[in-house]
Each structure stands twice: as C-alpha cells, then as structure tokens.
Amino acid sequence: MHTAEKQKISVKEAIDYQVVTADEPWEELAEIIRSINTQQAVFFVDENVFRLQDAFIARLESLVKRPILARVPAGEQSKSVQNWASLVDFCLEQGIDRQTPLVAVGGGVTGDLAGFVAASVLRGLPLIHIPTTILAIVDSSIGGKTGVNHSVGKNLVGAFYQPRAVVSFLKVLDTLPDSEFISGFAEVLKYGAIEDTGILALLNGRSILSLRKDPQLLKEIVQRCIKVKARVVSEDTKEAGLRMILNYGHTFGHALEKVAGYGCISHGQAVFAGMVAAGVMAQKLGARIDNSLIDQHAAAFVTRGFFDHFSIEDLNKAMQSDKKVSRATVRFILLHEYGRPYLHPVNDAEFITSVWEESFQKMNQLCS
C-alpha cells in the first residue's frame, strides 16, 4: 500500500519598521542604530552624495565605533550582478557578522543594490535605508524590493527583503541636481493619480522645481506619498495583487527604458511618458479622466522630439519580456478615474501601437 508521510511546516514572520521623514532626523537614526547593538556598520554611499555631502557622511560615520565605507558608482549601470558580487566580497572580507547593519546612503540605484547585498550576505544583514533622492524617499526605499539588472531586463535578479528602518533627511536634497529632483516627481504624480488625488491638486498650476524653495510643501507632499506606499506594501508585500497599482505608468515606462538602453532615459522620464500613455489608453477605452493634471508637467520631463526615434515594434517586444507580464498578455494598470486604478489585460498589439503613437504625438504637442 502506498502511504506518503506528510509533515507540515509553518513559517510565520511579522516585520514592522518605521519610515522616518524629517529635515534632519539624527536622534531617530541614532536610536535605531543603538537598538541593533553593534560597534560597526557598513555604509554604501552613492559617489555623488559622498562628494557633495562630506559633513553629512562624517556625521553618519560617527554613529558607530567602526564605520566601514564603500562608495557606490552612480547610474543605473551600477546595478549589475558584477557590482553586487564585488560588494558582497567587500562585506565578507571586512569580517562583518549578522549583527552588522548595512546602511544604504543614496538613491534608488544604491538602495536596490545595497538591499540585495543585505539580503544575500550571511542570509541577511540588518538593512537601513537613508534615501537621498525624491524617488528613493517616496518609492524605492519602501517595501522591500531589492535587485540588480540583467541583460534580459531590468531588476530581474533580486529578492524581497525588508529594511530595518528607512530614515530620510530632507535637508540632503539641497545638493540633488534639478534633473534628479524632477525625475522623482514622476512617482509623486503617480501616487496622486492612483490614490491621493490631493497631491495632484497641490501640484496643479505649480512647477515642480518651485518646490525646491518651499520645503514645507515639499515635506507635506513627500509624506503623503510615503503614506500611500506604506499602505499598499503593508497590504501586499509580495506583489500578489494590490501592489500592482504601483506599476501605474510602469509597463510602458519599463519598455521605454529597455529600448533606450539604461541611462539614456531617466526612470522619471520613462514613468512620466508611461502615465501619459496610460491616460491615452484609458480615454480610448472610454474613461473620463482629466489627463491635464498629469500632462501639464510634460515640459519638466521631456523635450519635443524626444520619443521620435523610438521603434514601436521594439517597445512592444520589450513589454513582452517584462516580468510584470503574465504570458503573452500585457497587463496595464489604468484608471477609471483618479484614485480608482484597475488591472486591464491587453493582447491586441495594434491597439497598443496606436496608444504609443498617440501619446508620442501628444507629448510633442505638450512640449512645443
């Protein structure tokens, strides 16, 4: 008689962590490091932050007896398996243990790379994000996505790994280049579009760069974005359902990034164009949304003619290999109206092509 013995394993995990946002939350950071009870910490610091914020870095290092610092080259091409392997070597050769926190100081590139190192050294180091760009503060540092790029596609190698804390120093944004500041606002607009429409209202008729001179308003907007992201990732950690709404604009956007080649288009430009395209698609499907709340910011992100050289055939092919795509069907997040996202599967390549064409024309008009 065939009898199979079955033994059940139950693994439960509950992780709580704080996202702290202020001009200079030094006390909060010091408290978090104290709670880890360590004499040493590894700091992965974006090379631009290292160059422009020496007093900030020195003060960070002074929080532990033995700071171990590695500079991380800026730019999307830095998110490679090779760089991951070098940083893993670096950590292990420094003789760290499982109580040694890895502190990621930089934008999305540094955070994604450091996150995957933290996930995979000694089966997990305590990870602290200190995001220094708008994008990293409102988006990439929150929710546990880590990873590096692969020749087959972006972010294809990585893990879900939650940080111990996210501590944002808004003061550090002072040295962020305008282009980076703007780029992060694609995600800000996204949170407005998919959930907190008040964000779109706060930005209506206002230029994005004007916020550099209005730290109070900037802080309010940033904190509202974090609230949306925190709610969504708390409800859906592993991107099984709800979390998909965070991909608004990203299915188009990732295709643009892939076809342009990483580094030739910013993530913000790609996501912004993706949201314009999602707006076009939604309208073609009959939704009544006032796309102007997004579209009015076009000139901050793109210039006339920017998309003229993109091959729509290549873009459609790139969408097929995106990991958010299930089999042959491409799944878009669209809006019934602002604040009401839904999943819309499309397997009509001609329809997608017409959306690309129309949105490229539209962006040229918006930038003229």
Tell which residue, 241, 246, 269, has the closest CA to residue 256: 269
Which one of the listed residues 129, 164, 190, 243 is annotated catalytic?
A: 243
- Mutual orientation of helices 250-260 and 267-284 as an angle, nearest 10°? 130
Which one of the listed residues 76, 247, 258, 291 is annotated catalytic?
A: 247
Please give the torsion angle defined by the CA atoms of residues 347, 353, 359 and 361, in that order, rounded to the nearest 10 degrees. -170
Tell which residue, 128, 124, 237, has the closest CA to residue 116: 124
Tell which residue, 339, 324, 234, 361, has the closest CA to residue 290: 339
Residue 336 is a catalytic residue:
no
* Of residues 38 and 354, the one with the C-beta less far from a copy of itself: 38
Which one of the listed residues 129, 250, 258, 331 is annotated catalytic?
A: 250
Residue 150 is a catalytic residue:
no
Which one of the listed residues 129, 145, 154, 164 is annotated catalytic?
A: 145
* Of residues 17 and 306, the one with the C-beta less far from a copy of itself: 17
Q: Which residues pair with 223 in a beta bridge?
A: none
* Of residues 159 and 367, the one with the C-beta less far from a copy of itself: 159
* Of residues 3 and 368, the one with the C-beta less far from a copy of itself: 3
Task: Tell me 215's DSSP state.
Answer: H
Residue 224 is a catalytic residue:
no
CB 147, min distance to a copy of itself, A: 6
* Of residues 52 and 230, the one with the C-beta less far from a copy of itself: 230
Residue 250 is a catalytic residue:
yes
Tokens of 200: 């779109």
Tokens of 29: 């950071």
b/e 307-343 (16+ beta carbons within 10 angstroms → b)? beebebeebbebbeebeebeeeebbbbbbeebeebee
* Of residues 131 and 279, the one with the C-beta less far from a copy of itself: 131
CB 113, min distance to a copy of itself, A: 13
CB 9, min distance to a copy of itself, A: 5
CB 66, min distance to a copy of itself, A: 12
Question: CB under 8 Å to 194, separation ≥6 — which residues?
Answer: 228, 245, 246, 248, 333, 335, 339, 341
Which one of the listed residues 123, 213, 238, 288 is annotated catalytic?
A: 123
Count CB-CB contacts under 10 A for residue 95: 9
Residue 243 is a catalytic residue:
yes
Residue 145 is a catalytic residue:
yes
Which one of the listed residues 224, 254, 258, 362 is annotated catalytic?
A: 254
CB 98, min distance to a copy of itself, A: 6
How many whole angstroms from its chain centre is CA 226?
12
CB 13, min distance to a copy of itself, A: 5
In this structure, are residues 90 and 43 in contact, taking their beta carbons and an 8 Å threshold?
no
Residue 123 is a catalytic residue:
yes
- Separation of alpha carbons 250 and 163, rounded Å: 24
Count CB-CB contacts under 10 A for residue 205: 7
CB 170, min distance to a copy of itself, A: 10
Tokens of 341: 């996202």
- Mutual orientation of helices 312-320 and 349-366 as an angle, nearest 10°? 120
* Of residues 95 and 286, the one with the C-beta less far from a copy of itself: 95
Would you name the residues annotated as active-site residues? 123, 145, 187, 229, 239, 243, 247, 250, 254, 267
